[in-house]
Structure 1
Amino acid sequence: MTHKLAIYDMDKTITVKATWGGFVIGAARRQAPWRLAFLPLVGLASAAYGVKVIDRARLKQVAQRLLLGRTMSAAATAAAAERFAGRVRLYDGARERIAADRAAGYRLVMATASYRFYVTAIAERLGFDAVIATLSKDGGDGAVRAGIFGENCYGPAKLRMIEDWMAEQGIARADAEIRFYSDHVSDAPTLAWADDAFAVNPHPPLRALAAIKGWTILDWEG
Protein backbone atom coordinates (compact mmCIF):
# COMPACT_ATOMS: atom_id res chain seq x y z
CA MET A 1 0.00 0.00 0.00
CA THR A 2 1.31 3.44 -0.91
CA HIS A 3 0.67 6.23 1.61
CA LYS A 4 0.23 9.58 -0.16
CA LEU A 5 1.27 12.47 2.09
CA ALA A 6 1.12 16.17 1.27
CA ILE A 7 3.13 17.97 3.97
CA TYR A 8 2.91 21.75 4.27
CA ASP A 9 4.93 24.26 6.23
CA MET A 10 2.59 26.97 7.56
CA ASP A 11 4.06 30.44 8.09
CA LYS A 12 4.38 32.34 4.79
CA THR A 13 3.72 29.10 2.90
CA ILE A 14 0.01 28.85 3.67
CA THR A 15 -0.36 32.07 5.68
CA VAL A 16 0.40 35.48 4.18
CA LYS A 17 2.44 36.50 7.23
CA ALA A 18 4.35 34.79 10.00
CA THR A 19 1.83 34.02 12.75
CA TRP A 20 3.57 33.92 16.12
CA GLY A 21 3.86 37.67 16.66
CA GLY A 22 0.24 38.27 15.69
CA PHE A 23 -0.96 35.49 17.95
CA VAL A 24 0.87 36.56 21.11
CA ILE A 25 0.10 40.26 20.68
CA GLY A 26 -3.58 39.57 19.96
CA ALA A 27 -3.88 37.22 22.93
CA ALA A 28 -2.12 39.68 25.25
CA ARG A 29 -4.36 42.54 24.10
CA ARG A 30 -7.43 40.46 24.94
CA GLN A 31 -6.26 38.83 28.18
CA ALA A 32 -3.79 41.21 29.81
CA PRO A 33 -3.30 44.48 27.88
CA TRP A 34 -0.78 45.71 30.45
CA ARG A 35 1.65 43.08 29.18
CA LEU A 36 1.98 44.98 25.90
CA ALA A 37 4.32 47.26 27.85
CA PHE A 38 6.85 44.43 27.48
CA LEU A 39 6.90 44.74 23.69
CA PRO A 40 10.18 46.71 23.73
CA LEU A 41 11.79 43.81 25.60
CA VAL A 42 10.47 41.42 22.96
CA GLY A 43 12.02 43.74 20.41
CA LEU A 44 15.37 43.49 22.19
CA ALA A 45 15.09 39.70 22.19
CA SER A 46 14.37 39.83 18.44
CA ALA A 47 17.49 41.93 17.95
CA ALA A 48 19.49 39.41 19.97
CA TYR A 49 18.19 36.68 17.69
CA GLY A 50 19.14 38.76 14.67
CA VAL A 51 22.78 38.84 15.77
CA LYS A 52 22.66 35.17 16.84
CA VAL A 53 23.00 35.77 20.58
CA ILE A 54 19.91 33.60 21.12
CA ASP A 55 18.24 31.04 18.85
CA ARG A 56 14.68 30.96 17.49
CA ALA A 57 13.49 28.61 20.21
CA ARG A 58 14.66 30.96 22.96
CA LEU A 59 13.10 33.96 21.22
CA LYS A 60 9.71 32.23 21.10
CA GLN A 61 9.89 31.32 24.78
CA VAL A 62 10.86 34.85 25.82
CA ALA A 63 7.97 36.37 23.85
CA GLN A 64 5.49 33.93 25.36
CA ARG A 65 6.71 34.52 28.91
CA LEU A 66 6.58 38.30 28.56
CA LEU A 67 3.28 38.66 26.68
CA LEU A 68 1.24 35.66 27.83
CA GLY A 69 2.73 34.94 31.23
CA ARG A 70 4.36 31.90 32.76
CA THR A 71 1.25 29.73 32.27
CA MET A 72 -1.82 30.06 30.05
CA SER A 73 -4.95 28.12 31.03
CA ALA A 74 -6.49 25.56 28.70
CA ALA A 75 -9.63 27.67 28.27
CA ALA A 76 -7.70 30.85 27.52
CA THR A 77 -5.42 29.01 25.10
CA ALA A 78 -8.33 27.44 23.19
CA ALA A 79 -10.24 30.72 22.99
CA ALA A 80 -7.19 32.66 21.78
CA ALA A 81 -6.40 29.98 19.17
CA GLU A 82 -9.95 30.03 17.78
CA ARG A 83 -10.04 33.83 17.60
CA PHE A 84 -6.70 33.94 15.83
CA ALA A 85 -7.57 31.16 13.39
CA GLY A 86 -10.57 33.18 12.29
CA ARG A 87 -8.40 36.22 11.54
CA VAL A 88 -5.30 34.75 9.94
CA ARG A 89 -4.88 35.58 6.25
CA LEU A 90 -4.28 32.64 3.92
CA TYR A 91 -3.07 32.53 0.34
CA ASP A 92 -5.81 31.66 -2.14
CA GLY A 93 -3.22 29.55 -3.96
CA ALA A 94 -2.63 27.57 -0.78
CA ARG A 95 -6.33 26.87 -0.34
CA GLU A 96 -6.57 25.71 -3.95
CA ARG A 97 -3.50 23.47 -3.72
CA ILE A 98 -4.66 21.94 -0.42
CA ALA A 99 -8.03 21.15 -1.99
CA ALA A 100 -6.33 19.65 -5.06
CA ASP A 101 -4.07 17.44 -2.94
CA ARG A 102 -7.04 16.25 -0.92
CA ALA A 103 -8.96 15.45 -4.10
CA ALA A 104 -5.93 13.52 -5.41
CA GLY A 105 -6.04 11.28 -2.34
CA TYR A 106 -3.20 12.80 -0.31
CA ARG A 107 -3.30 12.82 3.47
CA LEU A 108 -2.78 16.43 4.54
CA VAL A 109 -0.12 17.07 7.17
CA MET A 110 0.97 20.44 8.54
CA ALA A 111 4.58 20.57 9.76
CA THR A 112 5.52 23.89 11.31
CA ALA A 113 7.84 25.49 13.84
CA SER A 114 4.88 27.37 15.28
CA TYR A 115 3.31 26.11 18.50
CA ARG A 116 0.82 23.29 18.23
CA PHE A 117 -1.49 24.91 20.78
CA TYR A 118 -2.64 27.50 18.26
CA VAL A 119 -1.69 25.88 14.93
CA THR A 120 -4.24 23.09 15.37
CA ALA A 121 -7.16 25.52 15.11
CA ILE A 122 -5.84 26.81 11.77
CA ALA A 123 -5.19 23.31 10.46
CA GLU A 124 -8.67 22.14 11.41
CA ARG A 125 -10.28 24.98 9.47
CA LEU A 126 -8.32 23.89 6.40
CA GLY A 127 -9.21 20.22 6.80
CA PHE A 128 -5.76 18.91 7.64
CA ASP A 129 -5.50 15.36 8.87
CA ALA A 130 -2.50 15.79 11.17
CA VAL A 131 -0.32 18.48 12.73
CA ILE A 132 3.40 18.21 13.51
CA ALA A 133 4.49 21.30 15.42
CA THR A 134 6.52 22.65 18.31
CA LEU A 135 5.13 21.46 21.64
CA SER A 136 4.84 23.50 24.83
CA LYS A 137 5.67 22.42 28.34
CA ASP A 138 2.70 21.11 30.28
CA GLY A 139 1.18 23.58 32.70
CA GLY A 140 -1.27 21.02 34.12
CA ASP A 141 -4.99 20.52 33.33
CA GLY A 142 -4.39 21.35 29.66
CA ALA A 143 -2.62 24.63 30.38
CA VAL A 144 0.57 25.53 28.52
CA ARG A 145 3.76 26.88 30.05
CA ALA A 146 6.15 29.34 28.46
CA GLY A 147 8.67 26.75 27.39
CA ILE A 148 9.32 24.28 24.59
CA PHE A 149 8.89 20.57 25.20
CA GLY A 150 11.27 18.59 23.00
CA GLU A 151 12.61 20.20 19.85
CA ASN A 152 11.68 23.39 18.04
CA CYS A 153 10.14 22.00 14.81
CA TYR A 154 12.56 23.89 12.58
CA GLY A 155 15.27 22.97 10.09
CA PRO A 156 16.67 19.44 10.48
CA ALA A 157 14.50 18.95 13.58
CA LYS A 158 11.39 19.27 11.42
CA LEU A 159 12.47 16.33 9.30
CA ARG A 160 13.22 14.26 12.42
CA MET A 161 9.79 15.05 13.81
CA ILE A 162 8.09 14.12 10.53
CA GLU A 163 9.96 10.81 10.49
CA ASP A 164 8.99 10.17 14.13
CA TRP A 165 5.34 10.88 13.28
CA MET A 166 5.49 8.49 10.32
CA ALA A 167 6.95 5.79 12.55
CA GLU A 168 4.10 6.31 15.04
CA GLN A 169 1.62 5.99 12.18
CA GLY A 170 3.29 2.80 10.93
CA ILE A 171 4.26 4.41 7.61
CA ALA A 172 7.56 3.25 6.15
CA ARG A 173 9.38 5.78 3.96
CA ALA A 174 9.62 3.22 1.16
CA ASP A 175 5.83 2.90 1.19
CA ALA A 176 5.14 6.64 1.04
CA GLU A 177 4.71 9.13 -1.78
CA ILE A 178 5.52 12.51 -0.24
CA ARG A 179 5.00 16.08 -1.35
CA PHE A 180 6.47 18.89 0.73
CA TYR A 181 5.79 22.63 0.48
CA SER A 182 7.83 25.41 2.12
CA ASP A 183 8.81 29.03 1.64
CA HIS A 184 12.13 28.94 3.53
CA VAL A 185 15.58 27.50 2.94
CA SER A 186 15.66 26.18 6.52
CA ASP A 187 13.40 23.41 5.22
CA ALA A 188 15.98 22.27 2.65
CA PRO A 189 16.51 18.94 4.46
CA THR A 190 12.83 18.05 4.16
CA LEU A 191 12.55 19.37 0.60
CA ALA A 192 15.50 17.16 -0.42
CA TRP A 193 13.92 14.15 1.34
CA ALA A 194 10.51 14.51 -0.31
CA ASP A 195 9.58 12.88 -3.61
CA ASP A 196 8.09 16.15 -4.88
CA ALA A 197 9.53 19.38 -3.50
CA PHE A 198 7.75 22.71 -3.87
CA ALA A 199 9.39 26.04 -3.03
CA VAL A 200 6.40 28.29 -2.33
CA ASN A 201 6.76 32.08 -2.44
CA PRO A 202 10.46 31.38 -1.83
CA HIS A 203 12.75 33.96 -0.32
CA PRO A 204 15.93 34.52 -2.39
CA PRO A 205 18.11 31.79 -0.80
CA LEU A 206 15.44 29.14 -1.34
CA ARG A 207 14.65 30.36 -4.85
CA ALA A 208 18.33 30.02 -5.76
CA LEU A 209 18.59 26.56 -4.18
CA ALA A 210 15.38 25.41 -5.88
CA ALA A 211 16.80 26.41 -9.26
CA ILE A 212 19.92 24.33 -8.57
CA LYS A 213 18.02 21.32 -7.22
CA GLY A 214 15.24 21.39 -9.79
CA TRP A 215 12.51 21.87 -7.21
CA THR A 216 9.21 23.26 -8.45
CA ILE A 217 8.67 26.95 -7.63
CA LEU A 218 5.13 28.11 -6.87
CA ASP A 219 4.34 31.81 -6.53
CA TRP A 220 1.08 32.39 -4.68
CA GLU A 221 1.73 36.00 -3.71
CA GLY A 222 0.40 37.29 -7.03
Structure 2
Amino acid sequence: MDVPTPPVPTDYRHRVAMYDMDRTITRSGTYSGFLMHVVRRRQQWRLLLLPLVALAGAAYSLRLIDRSRLKAINLRLLVGKRFSRDEIAPLAESYADQVIGRGVHAAALEQIAADREEGYRLLLATASFHLYVDAIARRLGIDDVLATRLDEPDGADHIHARLAGDNCYGDAKFARISDWLADNDITRDQAHIRAYSDHVSDHPMLHFADEAVATTPSRKLKLLAPKMGWQVVDWRARRDR
Protein backbone atom coordinates (compact mmCIF):
# COMPACT_ATOMS: atom_id res chain seq x y z
CA MET A 1 0.00 0.00 0.00
CA ASP A 2 1.10 3.58 -0.60
CA VAL A 3 -0.10 4.74 2.81
CA PRO A 4 1.12 2.71 5.79
CA THR A 5 -1.67 2.11 8.26
CA PRO A 6 -0.43 1.96 11.86
CA PRO A 7 -2.48 -0.04 14.33
CA VAL A 8 -5.50 1.82 15.66
CA PRO A 9 -6.34 1.51 19.37
CA THR A 10 -9.28 -0.83 19.82
CA ASP A 11 -11.12 1.34 22.35
CA TYR A 12 -12.40 3.82 19.75
CA ARG A 13 -16.13 3.62 19.16
CA HIS A 14 -15.95 5.12 15.67
CA ARG A 15 -13.51 5.01 12.78
CA VAL A 16 -13.95 7.59 10.03
CA ALA A 17 -11.93 8.09 6.84
CA MET A 18 -12.54 11.47 5.21
CA TYR A 19 -11.68 11.98 1.55
CA ASP A 20 -11.60 15.05 -0.63
CA MET A 21 -12.51 14.12 -4.22
CA ASP A 22 -11.10 16.33 -6.99
CA ARG A 23 -7.39 15.65 -7.56
CA THR A 24 -7.38 13.47 -4.45
CA ILE A 25 -9.35 10.48 -5.64
CA THR A 26 -9.69 11.76 -9.19
CA ARG A 27 -6.76 12.66 -11.40
CA SER A 28 -8.21 16.05 -12.32
CA GLY A 29 -11.05 18.37 -11.38
CA THR A 30 -14.54 17.15 -12.21
CA TYR A 31 -16.64 20.32 -12.26
CA SER A 32 -15.68 21.64 -15.70
CA GLY A 33 -15.71 18.11 -17.09
CA PHE A 34 -19.29 17.63 -15.90
CA LEU A 35 -20.46 20.87 -17.48
CA MET A 36 -18.89 19.95 -20.82
CA HIS A 37 -20.29 16.41 -20.60
CA VAL A 38 -23.78 17.85 -20.20
CA VAL A 39 -23.58 20.58 -22.83
CA ARG A 40 -22.23 18.25 -25.52
CA ARG A 41 -25.04 15.75 -24.96
CA ARG A 42 -27.89 18.08 -24.26
CA GLN A 43 -27.77 21.58 -25.80
CA GLN A 44 -24.70 22.00 -27.97
CA TRP A 45 -25.65 25.55 -28.87
CA ARG A 46 -24.54 26.51 -25.38
CA LEU A 47 -20.94 25.98 -26.52
CA LEU A 48 -21.34 29.42 -28.10
CA LEU A 49 -21.47 30.79 -24.55
CA LEU A 50 -17.96 29.61 -23.69
CA PRO A 51 -16.52 33.14 -24.15
CA LEU A 52 -18.84 34.25 -21.33
CA VAL A 53 -17.57 31.35 -19.22
CA ALA A 54 -14.03 32.60 -19.85
CA LEU A 55 -15.12 36.12 -18.89
CA ALA A 56 -16.54 34.84 -15.62
CA GLY A 57 -13.24 33.03 -14.99
CA ALA A 58 -11.38 36.29 -15.53
CA ALA A 59 -13.68 38.06 -13.09
CA TYR A 60 -12.91 35.39 -10.51
CA SER A 61 -9.17 35.73 -11.12
CA LEU A 62 -9.50 39.47 -10.52
CA ARG A 63 -11.46 38.72 -7.32
CA LEU A 64 -14.55 40.49 -8.63
CA ILE A 65 -16.67 37.42 -7.85
CA ASP A 66 -16.15 34.52 -5.44
CA ARG A 67 -16.07 30.77 -6.12
CA SER A 68 -19.75 30.32 -5.35
CA ARG A 69 -20.78 32.99 -7.82
CA LEU A 70 -18.45 31.62 -10.48
CA LYS A 71 -19.87 28.11 -10.17
CA ALA A 72 -23.45 29.37 -10.36
CA ILE A 73 -22.72 31.52 -13.43
CA ASN A 74 -21.03 28.67 -15.31
CA LEU A 75 -23.84 26.27 -14.45
CA ARG A 76 -26.43 28.75 -15.66
CA LEU A 77 -24.57 29.38 -18.92
CA LEU A 78 -23.84 25.76 -19.83
CA VAL A 79 -26.80 23.90 -18.30
CA GLY A 80 -29.47 26.51 -17.80
CA LYS A 81 -31.19 28.77 -15.29
CA ARG A 82 -33.19 25.76 -14.19
CA PHE A 83 -33.28 22.23 -15.50
CA SER A 84 -35.24 19.03 -15.13
CA ARG A 85 -34.05 16.60 -12.50
CA ASP A 86 -35.11 13.65 -14.66
CA GLU A 87 -33.24 15.02 -17.67
CA ILE A 88 -29.95 15.65 -15.83
CA ALA A 89 -29.89 12.45 -13.74
CA PRO A 90 -28.92 10.12 -16.63
CA LEU A 91 -26.14 12.53 -17.63
CA ALA A 92 -24.84 12.53 -14.05
CA GLU A 93 -24.78 8.73 -14.15
CA SER A 94 -22.96 8.56 -17.49
CA TYR A 95 -20.46 11.15 -16.31
CA ALA A 96 -19.84 9.12 -13.15
CA ASP A 97 -19.15 6.07 -15.33
CA GLN A 98 -16.65 8.15 -17.31
CA VAL A 99 -14.86 9.40 -14.19
CA ILE A 100 -14.62 5.96 -12.61
CA GLY A 101 -13.63 4.35 -15.90
CA ARG A 102 -10.58 6.47 -16.60
CA GLY A 103 -10.33 9.36 -14.18
CA VAL A 104 -9.35 8.01 -10.76
CA HIS A 105 -6.05 7.09 -9.14
CA ALA A 106 -5.68 3.33 -8.76
CA ALA A 107 -3.85 3.96 -5.48
CA ALA A 108 -6.83 5.96 -4.19
CA LEU A 109 -9.14 3.03 -4.92
CA GLU A 110 -6.77 0.73 -3.06
CA GLN A 111 -6.69 3.03 -0.04
CA ILE A 112 -10.50 3.32 0.01
CA ALA A 113 -10.73 -0.47 -0.06
CA ALA A 114 -8.16 -0.78 2.74
CA ASP A 115 -10.00 1.71 4.96
CA ARG A 116 -13.28 -0.08 4.34
CA GLU A 117 -11.65 -3.42 5.20
CA GLU A 118 -10.39 -1.95 8.48
CA GLY A 119 -13.91 -0.92 9.44
CA TYR A 120 -13.72 2.80 8.66
CA ARG A 121 -16.85 4.69 7.74
CA LEU A 122 -16.07 6.46 4.47
CA LEU A 123 -16.98 10.13 4.12
CA LEU A 124 -16.54 12.03 0.85
CA ALA A 125 -16.34 15.80 1.43
CA THR A 126 -16.02 17.90 -1.71
CA ALA A 127 -16.81 21.29 -3.19
CA SER A 128 -18.21 19.61 -6.30
CA PHE A 129 -21.97 19.42 -6.78
CA HIS A 130 -24.16 16.72 -5.22
CA LEU A 131 -25.75 16.72 -8.68
CA TYR A 132 -23.12 14.25 -9.91
CA VAL A 133 -20.96 13.52 -6.86
CA ASP A 134 -23.61 11.19 -5.42
CA ALA A 135 -23.35 8.99 -8.53
CA ILE A 136 -19.54 8.87 -8.27
CA ALA A 137 -19.71 8.09 -4.56
CA ARG A 138 -22.04 5.13 -5.13
CA ARG A 139 -19.56 3.64 -7.56
CA LEU A 140 -16.75 4.09 -5.05
CA GLY A 141 -18.72 2.45 -2.25
CA ILE A 142 -18.64 5.64 -0.15
CA ASP A 143 -20.94 5.62 2.88
CA ASP A 144 -21.69 9.34 3.25
CA VAL A 145 -21.33 12.44 1.06
CA LEU A 146 -20.95 16.13 1.83
CA ALA A 147 -20.96 18.24 -1.33
CA THR A 148 -22.08 21.62 -2.61
CA ARG A 149 -25.84 21.74 -2.82
CA LEU A 150 -28.03 23.38 -5.44
CA ASP A 151 -31.43 24.92 -4.89
CA GLU A 152 -33.94 22.09 -5.23
CA PRO A 153 -37.38 23.25 -4.01
CA ASP A 154 -39.31 20.56 -2.17
CA GLY A 155 -41.65 18.75 -4.48
CA ALA A 156 -40.31 20.50 -7.60
CA ASP A 157 -39.04 18.54 -10.57
CA HIS A 158 -36.53 21.22 -11.50
CA ILE A 159 -33.15 22.22 -10.07
CA HIS A 160 -32.08 25.87 -10.08
CA ALA A 161 -28.61 27.06 -11.07
CA ARG A 162 -27.88 28.64 -7.72
CA LEU A 163 -26.18 27.32 -4.62
CA ALA A 164 -28.19 26.34 -1.57
CA GLY A 165 -25.90 27.33 1.29
CA ASP A 166 -22.14 27.71 1.14
CA ASN A 167 -19.72 26.25 -1.36
CA CYS A 168 -18.42 23.13 0.43
CA TYR A 169 -14.81 24.34 0.48
CA GLY A 170 -12.21 25.17 3.12
CA ASP A 171 -13.72 26.33 6.41
CA ALA A 172 -17.24 25.82 5.07
CA LYS A 173 -16.40 22.19 4.31
CA PHE A 174 -15.06 21.66 7.80
CA ALA A 175 -18.22 23.22 9.26
CA ARG A 176 -20.24 20.68 7.27
CA ILE A 177 -18.00 17.88 8.58
CA SER A 178 -18.50 19.09 12.16
CA ASP A 179 -22.27 19.13 11.69
CA TRP A 180 -22.16 15.64 10.15
CA LEU A 181 -20.21 14.28 13.12
CA ALA A 182 -22.72 15.82 15.55
CA ASP A 183 -25.69 14.51 13.55
CA ASN A 184 -24.21 11.02 13.71
CA ASP A 185 -23.37 11.22 17.44
CA ILE A 186 -19.65 10.90 16.72
CA THR A 187 -17.65 12.69 19.41
CA ARG A 188 -14.02 13.52 18.82
CA ASP A 189 -12.73 11.61 21.85
CA GLN A 190 -14.46 8.42 20.69
CA ALA A 191 -13.33 8.55 17.06
CA HIS A 192 -10.17 7.72 15.16
CA ILE A 193 -10.09 9.85 12.02
CA ARG A 194 -8.08 9.65 8.83
CA ALA A 195 -8.16 12.45 6.25
CA TYR A 196 -6.90 12.61 2.68
CA SER A 197 -6.62 15.70 0.49
CA ASP A 198 -4.48 17.24 -2.23
CA HIS A 199 -5.12 20.90 -1.40
CA VAL A 200 -4.10 23.34 1.32
CA SER A 201 -7.70 24.59 1.58
CA ASP A 202 -8.40 21.36 3.47
CA HIS A 203 -6.03 22.36 6.28
CA PRO A 204 -8.91 22.38 8.83
CA MET A 205 -9.91 18.81 7.96
CA LEU A 206 -6.33 17.54 7.90
CA HIS A 207 -5.45 19.26 11.18
CA PHE A 208 -8.50 17.68 12.81
CA ALA A 209 -7.50 14.14 11.84
CA ASP A 210 -5.42 11.64 13.80
CA GLU A 211 -3.79 10.57 10.53
CA ALA A 212 -3.54 13.24 7.83
CA VAL A 213 -2.30 12.37 4.36
CA ALA A 214 -1.41 14.92 1.69
CA THR A 215 -2.16 12.99 -1.48
CA THR A 216 -0.44 14.14 -4.67
CA PRO A 217 -0.37 17.56 -2.99
CA SER A 218 -0.52 21.02 -4.46
CA ARG A 219 2.63 23.11 -4.05
CA LYS A 220 1.43 24.90 -0.92
CA LEU A 221 0.25 21.71 0.76
CA LYS A 222 3.49 19.93 -0.12
CA LEU A 223 5.39 22.68 1.74
CA LEU A 224 2.99 22.72 4.69
CA ALA A 225 2.62 18.99 5.28
CA PRO A 226 6.12 18.26 6.67
CA LYS A 227 5.81 21.19 9.07
CA MET A 228 2.55 19.74 10.38
CA GLY A 229 3.82 16.16 10.55
CA TRP A 230 1.44 15.01 7.81
CA GLN A 231 2.37 12.19 5.51
CA VAL A 232 2.92 13.02 1.83
CA VAL A 233 2.21 10.47 -0.91
CA ASP A 234 2.08 10.75 -4.69
CA TRP A 235 -0.74 8.58 -5.97
CA ARG A 236 0.29 9.34 -9.54
CA ALA A 237 3.43 7.25 -9.03
CA ARG A 238 1.45 4.00 -9.11
CA ARG A 239 0.39 2.81 -12.56
CA ASP A 240 -3.35 3.30 -12.92
CA ARG A 241 -5.43 0.40 -14.09
Q: Same fold per TM (> 0.5)?
A: yes
Does 1:167 pair with 2:182? yes
Does 1:112 pair with 2:126? yes
Q: Which residue, 38, 43, 63 being the options, matches 1:52?
A: 63
> SS at the partner of 1:80?
helix
Correspondence list, 1:1-222, <5 A: 2-88=13-99, 89-139=103-153, 140-222=155-237
Structure 1-normalised TM-score? 0.97
Aligned mates of 2:25, 2:198 — CA distance in 1: 9
> SS at the partner of 1:188?
helix
Aligned mates of 1:72, 1:181 — CA distance in 2: 33
> SS at the partner of 2:24?
coil
- Which 5+ residue runs of structure 1 have no aligned equivalent? none
- Give the superposition deviation at 1:142: 4.4
Aligned mates of 2:86, 2:176 — CA distance in 1: 27
Q: How many residues align?
A: 222
- Give the superposition deviation at 1:143: 2.7
Amino acid at match of 2:35: V
Amino acid at match of 2:183: E
- Which 5+ residue runs of structure 2 have no aligned equivalent? 1-11
Aligned mates of 2:28, 2:78 — CA distance in 1: 20
- Give the superposition deviation at 1:77: 2.1
Amino acid at match of 1:87: Q
Amino acid at match of 1:102: R
Aligned mates of 2:27, 2:159 — CA distance in 1: 26
Q: Contact (CA 8 Å) 1:20, 1:114: kept in 2 or not?
A: yes
Aligned mates of 1:52, 1:137 — CA distance in 2: 24
Aligned mates of 1:3, 1:76 — CA distance in 2: 39
Structure 2-normalised TM-score? 0.90
Runs of 4+ that moved beyond 2 A = 139-143
**Could you say if the C-alpha distance between residues 120 and 142 of structure 1 is closer, same or farther in structure 2, counting changes exceeding 3 Å?**
farther
Identity between Structure 1 and Structure 2 (%): 49
What is residue 9 of structure 2 aligned with on the other side? none
Q: Summarize deviations over 1:29-83 as a string: whole Å, max 9, x none.
A: 1111111111111111112112221111111000000000011211122111101
Q: Summarize deviations over 1:80-117 as a string: whole Å, max 9, x none.
A: 11010011110001000000000011011100000111
Amino acid at match of 1:11: D
